[in-house]
Structure 1
Amino acid sequence: MPSKDIALKDIFEEIPHRLSKILAPAPIKELLPTNFPSTELRVDFLARLEDESVLHIEFQSFNDPNIPFRMLRYYLAIWERYPNSPIKQLLVYVGNRKLRMKSKLRLRNLTFSYEMLDIRQIDCRVLLESPDPMDRLLACLCGVEDELYLIEKLIKTMEGMNEEERKDYLLKALTLTELRPNLRIRLTEEVKHMPIVVRPEDVRLPKRKLRKDILYRLGLEEGKQIGELEFAQNMVITLVESRLGYVPEGLAERVREIKDKEFLHTLIKKLISSEDILGVLKRELSV
């Protein structure tokens, strides 16, 4: 199971107070088992509501053209287990690209549909003002206008936690923001001085992805501390690669030559806020 799915499952096991009210058409009465051994299917979230209906929520991080067929299989498995309960299905899209999936399936003798929501339609401030830490975590995936405000709220949430709780909360935030690369870079920069040791085994990613992961790339593995200058240099290179998908020839060498930390921090802010990454590089670094 991908790390993002694990994080979402863990969060929803605690029933985020405010988001559950947004997503569920009625208050949640009880959580239901999510696995269906006879079919080898497992859904992301299943609950009985106070109106006695069954709510199924599925999270999707990429556009899958076959998702209507999968949702139909889930529906049939749920109906077989709870034949006397109305079933409500909701597909919550948490991906970074534009939502392009269909919420309806039309076959020759069958028409099937379900509700669908792009989580970015929810204003993150609605969840950030919730007293529930899980709501604040999920705000990372919602519509964000002020990333710094969101990060400040997450850090403030961690202030009352013990070390293990802070570590678990931070890792969940970093895992979820794999889906929001720019936010993840800013979050990593803001928390790098927090007294939390993050090792590669803590970041639940396959080895092939771990080497590309921002935490690994920025030298946080094994609690390693690197100088602020090197950190800023790495941040510029990683940010460019994240935005462009590649590192322009000669960029890494050019960035390593820069010894002015303030210039690098200013450059990072420009790269984060600009849509024209190549233009910024040309103006600031003559690359």
Structure 2
Amino acid sequence: MPSKDITLKDIFEEVPHRLSKILSPAPIKELLPTSLPSTELRVDFLARLEDESILHMEFQSFNDTNMPWRMLRYYTAIAEKYKTHNIKQLVVYVGNEKLRMKSSLKIKNLVFRYEILDIRQIDCKVLLESPDPMDRLLACLCKVEDEVYLIEKLIKTMESMNEEERKDYLLKALTLTELRPNLRIRLTEEVKPMPIVVRPEDIKLPKKKLRKDILYRLGLEEGKKEGEIIGIEKGKKIGLEEGFLKALQDTVLTLIRSRLGRVPEGVEVRVKGIRDREYLNALIEKLINSGDVLELLREERLLS
């Protein structure tokens, strides 16, 4: 499961105060198990509301043409388990591309509908002013007009936390902003001087993913002690320049994957061979604004 999905589910297990009020038609009474027995299905979020209806949410980071069928399968499984049709379904789109998914399915003898919300319709300031740290985290995915203000709020939120809480919060912020590449680069620049010690046993996200992605981008290195990762102030093996290069390379690959649903054969090797930071930054801008990613990759000689 992608680290972004795990992070979102982890955040919603704590029920972010302000965002849950925006997304839910009634106050949440209790969280329900996300696994649906006898179907092998697992949903992202399921809760019983105070009006006894059921709220089901899915967090989607790319445009999935199969989404209506997925939501229909979830609906029937939820209705069967809880013996109710008083179910509200909501797809929360958190991707970077323009939302293009349908919110209905019409076939012979069946009309099925659910709601879709592009999280960028929500002004991040609404969540940044919330007293709930989880709301402030999710503001990273909303409509951001002032990145400096957002990052200042996140850093200020971490100031009141102990070392373990700050570490977990920072990792979540860096993971979520993989979906917002420009914001992620800026956030990484701002937090890199922060002293942070992370050990694999402390990390709830996939360790392999974090070692190669989040921590590496911060310029951290695996320590000499087994399983220990130490901060950039003590780093000896991985320089900051290498960390920044890999951050940009991985951002390029993330954008390609989000736009195409895959990274074409040979492209990853070519991207990881680029050592020019200015060129990588320019390529990120082109990928964000390009209407034809495959043609852009050919023009940049990344795709043969």
Q: Same fold (TM over 0.5)?
A: yes
Q: 1:183 to 1:200 in 2, by over 3 A?
A: farther
Return closer, same or farther for 1:107/1:128 CA change in 2, 3 Å cut-off: same
Task: Show the 5 A alignment for 1:1-287.
Answer: 1-84=1-84, 86-198=86-198, 202=203, 204-205=205-206, 207=208, 213=213, 215-221=215-221, 222-225=229-232, 231=240, 235=244, 238-239=247-248, 242-243=251-252, 252=275, 275=285
Using the size of structure 2 for normalisation, the TM-score is: 0.75
Once the two structures are superposed, residues 55-111 of structure 1 have per-residue CA deviations (whole angstroms, 9 ceiling, x without a partner) of 111111111111110100000011012223510000001111111111111112211
Which SS does the other structure have where 1:106 is aligned?
strand
CA distances 1:11-34 after superposition (whole Å, capped 9, x unpaired): 111110000010001111111111
1:92 and 1:248, CA in 2 relative to 1: closer, same or farther beyond 3 A?
closer
Aligned residues: 260
Does structure 1 retain, via aligned residues, the 8 Å contact 2:128–2:153? yes
Shift of 1:195: 1.8
Displacement of 1:213: 2.4
Q: TM-score, normalised by structure 1?
A: 0.80
Q: Secondary structure at the match of 1:204?
A: coil
Matched residues in 2 for 1:51 and 1:31: separation?
Answer: 14
Segments of 5+ residues of structure 1 without an aligned counterpart are 256-266, 278-287
Unaligned runs of 5+ in 2: 222-228, 257-267, 288-304
Bigger mean CA offset, 213-222 vs 190-199: 213-222
SS, match of residue 98 in structure 1: coil
RMSD: 2.9
Cα displacement (A) at 1:154: 0.6
Asked if structure 1 preserves the Cα contact closer than 8 Å seen for 2:9 and 2:45, the reply is yes
> Quick one: distance in 2 between partners of 1:26 and 1:250?
51
CA distance in 2, matches of 1:238, 1:15: 31
The whole-number CA distance in structure 2 between the counterparts of 1:31 and 1:203 is 20
Report deviation, 1:231: 2.7
Partners of 1:9 and 1:152 in 2: CA distance: 25
Q: Is the 8 A contact 2:45 2:58 kept in 1?
A: yes
Seq. identity, %: 73
Q: Is the 8 A contact 1:99 1:118 kept in 2?
A: yes
Contact conserved, 1:57 with 1:91, CA < 8 A, in 2? yes
Give the 3 Å change call, closer, same or farther, for CA 83–170 of structure 1 in structure 2.
same
